[in-house]
């Protein structure tokens, strides 16, 4: 199934071509909103969500807020009927602020605090996925104190290797996530005894950026069998939460076929007689956004050519953290074909790990050249930081010929404003 790429070149009269986000020129956006700038496409978000919904009409799709939690993005999806998968009190707040129905929110994560659990119970969300016995006990205590019954699903670790990057594999025995498969039955019998809890389903999430469907098949089969065993023993298992993980094509990977993925999921849900919940993040948000950056300087040394750009690892961690490969393209391309040059695209941060792309063959770059870093909509802005006291990139969304700012640029005053001198230092700084 071919899903649109909203970032395309439009030809000018002089034969040059310029990349647009839907109908809006990226050159224009860079001038109006500055760089570095995340640019998202509403049409792509919509289409990617609808593609999943179309092949799995009976599943509840809980968009994984960690991929990109901007309230405008989450709202776009909530308007289409999406729920949300959240992993912190902050994400819960985002989802609710963005208009996600609370009865479509699932709370996952290995380290929920008392405050976070209390917030989830007050919001009356769909389900809380439990990842350890002490967590189960604490949730029971809080529920009893509040006089409510918490709807829970146990997140099972099926010990299946997702064959993805080590840092984003979550379903192996040695990973910190979930309850070992063999302990699940014991945990459900404990849920039955605890008066503040009610079991509603079973959950898993084996990893992210999966290219092969086989690990999904293996894990979901295990989960289905467990669901049937639990049901036979009288436990209430209404839903199967299969997590997220669907991979995308960053560098020519063969994306999993969405119809085959749906078939596996539907078969598993039907066999267990359960409603399916999914938690996709990257699949929806990844290709829906790019990071727009401008070259500050080009530095040519004997060993290499560096294009030093105005975004850095604080804006976009994926390359340095996972050695992730993202396509980089010139926003404006001239009519005549030019010889390419091999460059490393690096940021201004004082670490050699601060790179965006290495060894790329691109037309010669110069100060001011605008570049588009593709597939940056997921785990881009949401993983950004203030390292080197850099202000994070701005964020805009485009829909057709319209655009709007969805995250203002902060000021240095905002950045420093939360800090203060210790009381004994107060008189040591001269008024400026």
Residues in the site for ligand LLP, rule: CB under 6 A? 64, 66-67, 85, 108, 168, 205, 208-209, 243-246, 279-283, 318, 322, 378-379, 383
Q: Which is nearer to ligand LLP, 90 or 400 (CB)?
A: 90
Nearest residue to ligand LLP on Cβ basis: 244
Residue among 62, 274, 311, 350 flagged as catalytic: 350
3-state secondary structure the chain: CCCCCCEEEEECCCCCEEEEECCEEHHHHHHHHCCCEEEEEHHHHHHHHHHHHHHCCCCEEEEECCCCCCHHHHHHHHHCCCEEEECCHHHHHHHHHCCCCHHHEEECCCCCCHHHHHHHHHHCCCEEEECCHHHHHHHHHHHHHHCCCEEEEEEEECCCCCCCCHHHECCCCCCCCCEEHHHHHHHHHHHHHCCCEEEEEEECCCECCECCCHHHHHHHHHHHHHHHHHHHCCCCCCEEECCCCECCCCCCCCCCCHHHHHHHHHHHHHHHCCEEEECCCHHHHHHHEEEEEEEEEEEECCCCEEEEECCCCCCCCHHHHHCCCCCEEECEECCCCCCCEEEEEECCCCCCCCEEEEEEEECCCCCCCEEEECCCCCCCHHHCCCHHHCCCCEEEEEECCEEEEEECCCCHHHHHHCCCCCHHHHHHCCCC
Q: Measuring CA to CA, which residue among 233, 247, 161, 173 is closest to residue 202?
A: 233
Query: Least distance from C-beta 282 to ligand LLP, angstroms?
Result: 4
Residue with Cβ nearer ligand LLP (36 or 178): 178
Q: Which is nearer to ligand LLP, 158 or 281 (CB)?
A: 281
Instruction: Find the shortest distance in angstroms from Cβ 314 to ligand LLP.
Output: 15
Between 251 and 366, CB nearer to ligand LLP = 251
Q: Which is nearer to ligand LLP, 7 or 379 (CB)?
A: 379
Measure the CA–CA gap between 28 and 331, rounded to whole angstroms: 11
- The span from the CA of 130 to the CA of 139, in Å, is 9
CB of 205 to ligand LLP, least distance (A): 4
**Minimum gap (Å) between residue 135 Cβ and ligand LLP:** 14
At closest approach, how far in Å is the CB of 359 from ligand LLP?
21
Q: For residue 298, count other CB atoms closer than 10 A to its CB.
A: 16
Residue with structure tokens 């905002």? 414
Minimum CB separation of residue 383 from ligand LLP in Å reads 6
Q: Which of 84, 45, 78 is nearest to 283 (CA)?
A: 45
Query: What is the closest distance, in whole angstroms, from the C-beta atom of residue 170 to ligand LLP in the complex?
Result: 6
Q: Which is nearer to ligand LLP, 36 or 319 (CB)?
A: 319
Active site (annotated) includes residue 274: no
Q: Which is nearer to ligand LLP, 108 or 314 (CB)?
A: 108
Report the nearest approach of ligand LLP to the CB of residue 46 (Å): 17
In which residue are the tokens 């002490």 written? 134
Which lies closer to ligand LLP via its Cβ, residue 330 or residue 378?
378
Decide whether 209 or 239 has the Cβ nearer to ligand LLP: 209
User: Rounded to an integer, what distance in angstroms lies between the CA atom of residue 249 and that of residue 326?
Assistant: 10
**The token pair that represents 70 in the structure block:** 């901007």
Which residues are bridge partners to 394 per DSSP?
37
> Residue 240 Cβ, how far from ligand LLP at the closest point, in Å?
14
Q: Which residues are catalytic?
A: 350
């Amino acid at each position: 199934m071919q899903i649109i790429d909203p970032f395309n070149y439009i030809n000018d009269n002089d034969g040059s071509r310029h990349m647009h986000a839907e109908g809006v020129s990226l050159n224009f956006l860079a001038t109006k909103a500055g760089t570095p700038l995340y640019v998202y496409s509403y049409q792509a978000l919509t289409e990617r969500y609808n593609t999943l919904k179309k092949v799995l009409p009976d599943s509840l799709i809980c968009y994984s807020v960690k991929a990109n939690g901007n309230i405008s993005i989450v709202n776009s999806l909530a308007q289409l009927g999406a729920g949300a998968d959240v992993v912190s009190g902050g994400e819960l707040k985002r989802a609710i602020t963005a208009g996600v129905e609370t009865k479509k929110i699932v709370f996952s994560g290995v380290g929920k605090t008392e405050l976070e659990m209390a917030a989830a119970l007050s919001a009356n969300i769909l389900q809380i996925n439990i990842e350890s016995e002490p967590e189960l006990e604490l949730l029971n205590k809080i529920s009893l104190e509040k006089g409510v019954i918490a709807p829970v699903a146990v997140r099972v670790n099926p010990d299946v290797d997702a064959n993805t990057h080590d840092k984003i594999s979550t379903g192996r025995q040695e990973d910190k996530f979930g309850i070992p498969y063999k302990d699940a039955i014991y945990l459900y019998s404990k849920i039955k005894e605890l008066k503040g809890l009610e079991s509603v389903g079973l959950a898993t999430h084996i990893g992210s950026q999966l290219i092969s469907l086989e690990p999904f098949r293996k894990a979901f089969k295990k989960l289905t069998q467990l669901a049937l065993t639990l049901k036979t023993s009288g436990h209430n298992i209404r839903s199967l939460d299969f997590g997220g993980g669907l991979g995308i094509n960053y560098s020519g990977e063969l994306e999993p076929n969405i119809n085959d993925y749906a078939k596996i999921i539907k078969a598993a849900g039907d066999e267990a007689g359960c409603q399916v919940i999914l938690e996709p993040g990257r699949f929806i948000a990844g290709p829906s956004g790019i990071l727009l950056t401008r070259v500050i300087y080009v530095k040519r040394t004997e060993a290499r050519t560096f294009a030093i750009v105005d975004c850095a690892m604080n804006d976009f961690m994926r390359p340095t953290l996972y050695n992730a490969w993202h396509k980089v393209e010139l926003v404006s391309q001239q009519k005549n074909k030019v010889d390419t040059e091999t460059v490393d695209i690096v940021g201004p941060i004082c670490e050699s790990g601060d790179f965006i792309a290495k060894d790329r063959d691109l037309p010669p770059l110069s100060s001011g050249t605008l570049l588009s870093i593709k597939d940056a909509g997921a785990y881009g802005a949401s993983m950004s930081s203030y390292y080197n006291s850099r202000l994070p990139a701005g964020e805009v969304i485009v829909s057709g010929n319209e655009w709007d700012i969805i995250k203002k640029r902060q000021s240095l005053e905002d950045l420093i404003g939360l800090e203060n001198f210790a009381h004994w230092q107060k008189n040591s700084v001269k008024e400026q």
